[in-house]
A and B are shown apart, each in its own frame.
Chain A
Amino acid sequence: MSEKRPVKIQVRGLSKVFGSQPMKALELRNQGLKRPEILEKTGQTLGLSNLDFDVYEGELLVIMGLSGSGKSTLIRCLNRLIDTTEGEIIIDDENIPTLSTKELLECRRRHFSMVFQNFALFPHRTVQQNAEYGLEIRGIDKAERTETARNSLKQVGLDGWEDAMPSQLSGGMQQRVGLARALANDSSVLLMDEAFSALDPLIRKDMQQELLELQHRMKKTTVFITHDLDEALNIGDRIILLKDGEIVQIGTPEEILTAPADEYVERFIEGVDMSRILTARHAMRPVRATAREDDGPRTALRKMSENGLDSIYVTSRDRKLVGLIDAETAERAVKEGQQTIDSLIIQNFRSVAPDEPMHNLFAMFSDKSFPIAVIDDERRLLGVVVKGAVLAELAEAGDN
């Protein structure tokens, strides 16, 4: 959190009141009253209250909360589908709440594209025409928009479906069209409003995975709304937890799981917090390759590159864990012409027993990003645990 990252959207003091006398409600809010009391006293609903956060360039920010937490309001305030009551939303030096109608249109076209919970595809347009919509209203010529839309359909795996009508597609495919429509626009921010909530669980998992891959490839700044903590943990770079229109916690998935800000978050993650029941065994994966202590650095390096590893565990002849060597060190040794690796082996990795409770694993990831070694009583290497696997396992367990 301390590292400085380029900020794409800056939200400062954002509030939204639903009702005819918003100022009265804000006044009471400033006196320290909460949403239910304000509703009782003034009949105004405090949708969002004084939110401050940044959306970093290229990150996938998840905003999560239960229904009524204000998450849908928040995402609609970002592109001003809902007018804000007070506060600033700054994107590239433009303050969205104060834009004129014309500037707002321009800003939406340039900066925002949106994916909706119920897909919101235009039923009278083909898949291709749906994907073209954003380009069409910007007046981009036919040839170019056909090409661009075709490409984005291909990216979501829908080539060959251009001429189908949305009603002919399954839910998952419809949402791919929704995603393609958003991607074709090449806006700088992607807003996803409960985009996968209407899909059934299996397809949902697939879509999450695909979104992660897309996001990894395109580095598109994404704000993703969900009510589902598993989903948030699975895809979010950072998560903002919203309750009654206020931010309860901002943090990475690990931070939310390991250091819940208050009782509310704790209760929230209780359902998911199988980490006290699950153990390292559940999350561990088979070791793809190990180096032998009598291998040379060249061999170790080759084993790493063949298996796409940044580091490799070193075992003795009887498969007992000796230590770990990372690619950088091995490479240096090769250059320097060293023949053995035993002097290069390091010990600053973590090793655990297979019955180590999973919640203890989170803290171990914070210092160094080597996979955790899972060993038995005789120090034989059973498997490794990588960071992503822990979260994925938890998310899955939360589903059942």
Chain B
Amino acid sequence: MAIEIPRIELGDWIESGLNYLTSNYSGVTRGISAVTQTGINGLNDLLMWLPEWGLMGLIALLCWRMSGLRLGIGAVLGLALIWNLDLWDPMIESLTLVVIATLVAVVIAIPVGIAAALSERLYRVIMPVLDFMQTMPAFVYLIPAIPFFGIGSVSAIFATVIFSMPPAIRFTTLGIRQVPKDLIEAADAFGSTTSQKLFKVQLPLSLPTVMAGINQTIMLALSMVVIAAMIGADGLGNEVWRAIQRLRPGDGFEAGIAVVILAMLLDRLTQSFRKTRKS
């Protein structure tokens, strides 16, 4: 005789929870939405206002100063290709989304990472949450984003922040925990307060690790921003998405290559920042 085990209605619970949030906190989400949209538009407009060659020059200069001539030349060639393929505007849109999502993620992640490093209890709570955030398939975040923030770029940012934040938190925590015990002891022995210890010893010493985390966050943000085209985010992802729908592999690869170029530039640039700070 089979025992009837009732199905756990996990999905229903989550849905009613999300519904509750959307109906009761729509004011909040709408506020966030408005602010974020303004930020996106502002940055977009600024970057688009610059002539293509002007922005190209600026980025190349930055790459040259931060890393070297090779990256500078690479930046010029890569961006010129994107311009030539008529993907300049979508590239700017993607860049905007990445920059804003990364900023939000880092602003949240660093304090959380510090807190988790200093409090064992918080550490034990946060780590499984991070595992959850990172292993949950990225697409899933897109679904609740829509009722919260509507279709479009703000939802994309919301999903991107959640998806890309964990490495910044993890690396911050790791960086601070990796500070050698004898240095902490030395700081204590001279009578440092907790905040003196944090700002004069722990944070400066964990900076390279924190920067590695931010680099990871940027990379994840870029990959998520592309996926977020599925919920109407603008940018290179949108080009890919359209190519899929029309079954045009050529267009798809063109946009894909533009994503790769953008990713490489962002990666090398943030890595070089990390190295300069280290030496």
Contacts and interface: CB of A to CB of B under 8 A. Distances in A.
A108 B183 CA distance: 16
B191 A105 contact: yes
Interface residues of A, number: 25
A108 B191 contact: yes
Interface string B198-224: 001100110000000000000000000
Contact of A79 (B187, B189, B205): B189
Interface in A77-109: 79, 81, 105-109
Contact of B201 (A112, A122, A134, A191): A122
Contacts of A121: 186
B193 interface: yes
Contact of B196 (A81, A107, A137): A137
B272 interface: no
A73 to B, nearest CB: 13
A161 to B, nearest CB: 19
B190 interface: yes
Interface string B165-207: 0000000000000001011011111111100100011001100
Contacts of B190: 108-109, 113-114, 133-134, 137, 185
Interface in A167-217: 185, 191
A123 interface: yes
B185 A116 contact: yes
Which among A79, A106, A133 has the greatest number of chain B C-beta atoms within 10 A?
Answer: A133
A123 B205 contact: yes
Contacts of A134: 190-191
A107 B187 CA distance: 14
Contacts of A81: 185, 188-189
A1 B166 CA distance: 63
Contact of B191 (A117, A123, A137): A137
B186 A114 contact: yes
B278 to A, nearest CB: 10
Contact of B189 (A108, A118, A123, A138): A108
A317 interface: no
Nearest to B192: A137
A120 interface: yes
A116 B181 CA distance: 12
A113 B190 CA distance: 6
Contact of A118 (B182, B193, B204): B182
A124 interface: yes
Contacts of B180: 120
A187 B130 CA distance: 45
Nearest to A139: B196
B191 A109 contact: yes
Nearest to B193: A105
Nearest to A110: B191
A122 B183 contact: yes
A137 B201 CA distance: 11
A137 B188 CA distance: 11
A185 B191 CA distance: 11
A124 B185 contact: no
Interface string A132-145: 01101110000000
A122 B180 CA distance: 10
Nearest to B207: A124
Contacts of A137: 190-193, 196, 200
Nearest to B204: A124
B183 A120 contact: yes
Nearest to A135: B190
A123 B204 CA distance: 10
A185 to B, nearest CB: 7
Contacts of B200: 122, 133, 136-137
Contacts of B205: 122-124
Which among A114, A120, A138 has the greatest number of chain B C-beta atoms within 10 A?
Answer: A120
Contacts of A185: 190
Contacts of A107: 191
Nearest to B205: A124
Contacts of A108: 188-191
Contacts of B192: 105, 137
Contacts of A122: 183, 186, 200-201, 205
A134 B191 CA distance: 8
B198 to A, nearest CB: 12
Contacts of B196: 137
Nearest to B278: A124
Nearest to B186: A120
A106 B192 CA distance: 10
Given A124-B205, A137-B200, A116 B186 contact: yes
B192 to A, nearest CB: 5
A390 B186 CA distance: 37
A120 B193 contact: no
Contacts of B189: 79, 81, 108, 112-114, 191
A120 B182 CA distance: 6
Contacts of B187: 133
18 contacts: A81-B185, A105-B191, A106-B191, A108-B188, A108-B189, A108-B191, A109-B190, A113-B190, A114-B189, A118-B182, A120-B182, A122-B183, A122-B205, A124-B204, A133-B187, A134-B191, A137-B191, A137-B192
5 closest A-B pairs by CB: A109-B191, A108-B191, A120-B186, A114-B189, A120-B182
Interface of B: 180, 182-183, 185-193, 196, 200-201, 204-205
